[in-house]
A and B are shown apart, each in its own frame.
Chain A
Amino acid sequence: MNAPSLSARLLAADDRRLWLGMAGCAIAFLVVVPMLNLAMPPDSALHMPNYMVTLLGKYLCYATLALAMDLVWGYCGVLSLGHGAFFALGGYAMGMFMMRSIGARGVYGNADLPDFMVFLNWKELPWYWMGFDHFWFAALMALAVPGALAFVFGWLAFRSRITGVYLSIITQAMTYALMLAFFRNEMGFGGNNGLTDFKDILGFPLAEPSTKLGLYMLSALVLGLAFLVARFVVTSKLGRIMMAVRDAESRVRFLGYSPTWVKLFGFTLSAMLAGLAGALYVPQVGIINPSEFSPANSIEIAIWVAVGGRGTLVGAVLGAFAVNGAKTWLTGAAPELWLFLLGALFIAVTLGLPKGLLGLWGQIRRKEKAHA
């Protein structure tokens, strides 16, 4: 059977609901939020304060990351516990660009070297910092470095038919090793402090609320695009093979397909999406540091996806929003208790909602239908 053509698929009746939902979200995120932020007077109850915009921008990046994770875990069946590494690498690429655009405005006033290098007595810029003066190069690297790492790592791993927990653990080893490496001050990435003290991006000062709003809207657009790309992939013929690999790898192999390349494609694409999310994340939070590589962060990404609903793209996005929203709220509202509540949420979701929050929605809908 041939996969239906792109336009046919985009307009398929099944998809109409999806498109409407997306339009709703697009209006909410791209029109309503900016309006509430800009047009409402600050003392109005409907006013959206600036910090909420930044917060939403951050969640949108997390959602893109969760989407990337879902693509590889939910659809290819590869549980990567190292996706934080791709996210952080993308972040570092963007951070390096912003570091270079500080120029002579750093504390030591050195136009050729970032502050931390001046401080550690570096005499010249290391070769791997070359080119990061240009935005296009940094943007390219934010995609290419995670992509290349994922490709090489995935090629080695999938070729040797490393699966299941073995794969999870070596991806964890990868991100752990990268974390230790980036902690080393000799690496030239700022050690524990990482890259920080950014001034502006492409001439827009980062401290301006309008820049933040712009970055937020860009994140929303990127999430939308990433969603469409992911959706396109998973509904394509390739996507079906992906799911077949997830469900029964050996059978797929016996049918003559090469699971290695299918998984490799999913893994690399996912890493690039993660890198993109990281690149957008860093200017919004203003810092990138090796703790982003920590294995716990990567585990958390898997948790967002599981909470939202693994194997459904909407679920991944939903999970990222739900868990991070809960975290933001609870760390302020119940600073002493929030770990109990979050831990309990994870346990409750796994025990009660194997299909995540989205599964819960599905259950309710089914009940409604049964009653109707």
Chain B
Amino acid sequence: MKAFRLLLVLLALLAWAPAHADEFSDAVRALNADNFADKIAAAEALSALGDGRAAVILEALADGRLHAAGDGTIVMEQGGAYRDAITQAAASSADASPITVNNRLRGVLRGAVGRLGLFSPDPELRKRAAESVIASPTPESAAMVRRALETETLPEVKRMLSLALANLDLADADPERRKAAIQALRDSSDPMVRGQLQHMLETESDPEVKAAADKAVGAINSRLVWVSVGANIFQGLSLGSVLLLAAIGLAVTFGVMGVINMAHGEMIMLGAYTAFVVQEVFRATLPPEYVGLYLPVAVPVAFVVTFVIGVGLERTVIRFLYGRPLETMLATWGISLMLQQLVRSIFGASNREVANPAWMTGGIDLIGGFTLTYNRVIIIGFCLAVLLALAALLRWSSFGLHMRAVTQNRPMAAAMGIPTGRIDAATFGLGSGIAGMAGVALSQIGNVSPNLGQGYIVDSFMVVVFGGVGSLWGTLLGALSLGLVNKVLEPYAGAMLGKILVLVVIILFIQKRPRGLFALKGRSVES
């Protein structure tokens, strides 16, 4: 983005043409009109000049970076510095107020910037211009794209431009051109194209063109079915990973230790608030480009914070309740109420803003309008990493060995010299710490509020019980299958009914397998 803007500036300087400076500066000044209709007219006039400098100014306007000073000079903000938009001289921002923009003007501006970019020397810019022409088509675009195509050399850009042209040509007066456009768009999987073709089916008069359009719609449709199946699976996996992330910590405290930990949700919440605090510290101390790094830092910090809180709780409350699982529920419920109110008194009752870092914002447009969003992909990866790390810890570390020993046979473990008390504390801390890390991840897709944990607690218990208490792989499989079932049902049943059906499925499933998907076997199970 930065490089792009820099290029635009260079471009503007290259195209410096004093001959029509007056015309140009008048057009720029006209942007500061009283109403949006006049502003739109001014923007269109400015872009029609074909002056390369216009692109930078129009883009600044679209981003809300173009200001008007009291004396009518137009000032442009770039990375905190202000310059006169026409002369490029440094200017002060003292009495400047931003020129207001609305969606309609923004659309016009993007189209204009796009068209101006068609003739840019940078291929990347030309590609984006082709995209923006598709997004906001205007009658004059077709001619410009055609002109750009004549001089285009790079095959990739050429392909995009012809697609853009085909999009525009669908509305052409010449039936031959329309037919050619349909041929060119047959292999597209863009629902936008399908929409246009469908629209054509209703309005088209030429039977031959109509038949071609009909065929093309059929082809696109059959491809889109597969896209939607793929999208569905991804969404299911993503939901499953969120469920899994929320449940892994509980799989330790509840699954391994048998503590009905009602405060589990609050550990997730505390993790999310830790992410918030780390973000604020980064914002206060570091330059803006490093703020995005708060997230990798927040993960271990949240682990430590919730680990310590978990150990503290275990030592002061929970250790007195071993062997009385249902009473741990009562006590942890009390803890959960207190933690919620504590956070409410410290941070206030309203939502806190935790921003996605730039590298987690947006997504890749895969095919057919299906976007693979970065934050969800990263969360899927993160959750698998956490699970694998935990499994490795339990399997190969001496702490894991001790932990398994203590949970399987406490007196025997104690007799072997394992400090059971310390192991208990560490195990509960571990479960809490994982919940804290989950909180950091979940802050990237949802609210950060004192009620955050309440939204996940019921689902987490469902996942752990469905998967089989005490089994990590059960938790994994349980979470993913519940996520998938939920998302497969959602398009047919709606979000609400889908969720109800999933709960009914869990209830019925437990009838068949009273100890979940992966039941622990052995004598210690019965109690």
Contacts and interface: CB of A to CB of B under 8 A. Distances in A.
A354 B327 contact: yes
A295 B320 contact: no
Interface in B416-462: 454, 458, 461-462
A349 B330 contact: yes
Interface in A281-311: 295-296, 299, 302-303, 306
A62 B102 CA distance: 56
Given A165-B260, A183-B496, A177 B504 contact: yes
B317 A169 contact: no
A170 interface: yes
A347 interface: yes
A157 B335 contact: no
Interface string A329-372: 00000001101101111110111001000000000000000000
Interface of B: 254, 260, 262, 317, 320-321, 324-331, 333-338, 340-342, 345, 454, 458, 461-462, 465, 469, 496-497, 499-500, 503-504, 506-507, 510-512, 514-516, 526-527
28 contacts: A160-B511, A160-B514, A161-B514, A166-B515, A168-B260, A169-B461, A169-B465, A170-B465, A170-B506, A173-B462, A173-B503, A173-B506, A176-B458, A176-B503, A177-B500, A177-B507, A180-B496, A184-B496, A302-B329, A302-B330, A303-B330, A340-B342, A342-B334, A343-B336, A343-B338, A343-B341, A344-B334, A350-B321
Nearest to A307: B330
Contact of B338 (A163, A169, A181, A339): A339
Nearest to B509: A170
Interface in A167-191: 168-170, 172-174, 176-177, 180-181, 183-184
Interface residues of A, number: 45
A130 interface: no
Interface string A63-89: 000000000000000010000000000
A340 B336 CA distance: 10
Nearest to B338: A343
A229 interface: no
Contacts of A296: 454
A210 interface: no
The secondary-structure label for the interface of chain A is helix
B341 A340 contact: yes
A177 B462 CA distance: 12
B499 A180 contact: yes
B248 to A, nearest CB: 17
A183 B496 CA distance: 9
A328 interface: no
Contacts of A169: 461-462, 465
Nearest to A153: B507
B335 A306 contact: no
Contacts of B462: 169, 173
Contacts of A110: none
A271 to B, nearest CB: 16
A170 B324 CA distance: 20
B458 A295 contact: yes
A318 to B, nearest CB: 16
A12 interface: no
B499 A351 contact: no
B328 to A, nearest CB: 8
Contacts of B465: 165-166, 169-170
Contacts of A344: 334, 338
Contacts of B324: 354
A250 B526 CA distance: 9
A157 B507 CA distance: 9
A159 B514 CA distance: 10
Given A177-B504, A346-B331, 19 more contacts: A159-B511, A160-B511, A160-B512, A160-B514, A166-B510, A168-B326, A173-B507, A180-B496, A183-B496, A295-B458, A299-B329, A299-B333, A339-B337, A340-B337, A340-B341, A346-B337, A347-B331, A351-B317, A351-B331
Contacts of A160: 510-512, 514
Nearest to A81: B329
Closest 7 CB pairs of A and B: A346-B334, A343-B338, A343-B337, A177-B503, A339-B341, A343-B334, A350-B331
A79 B511 CA distance: 17
Nearest to B345: A336
A111 interface: no
A193 B91 CA distance: 58
A306 B262 contact: no
Of listed B262, B342, B500, residue having the most chain A CB within 10 A:
B500
Given A156-B511, A180-B496, A351 B503 contact: no
B507 A174 contact: yes
A18 interface: no
Contacts of A168: 260, 326
B496 A299 contact: no
Nearest to B516: A166
B290 to A, nearest CB: 38
Interface string A121-159: 000000000000000000000000000000001001101
Nearest to B513: A160
A151 to B, nearest CB: 15
A78 to B, nearest CB: 11
Nearest to A250: B526
Contacts of A173: 462, 503, 506-507
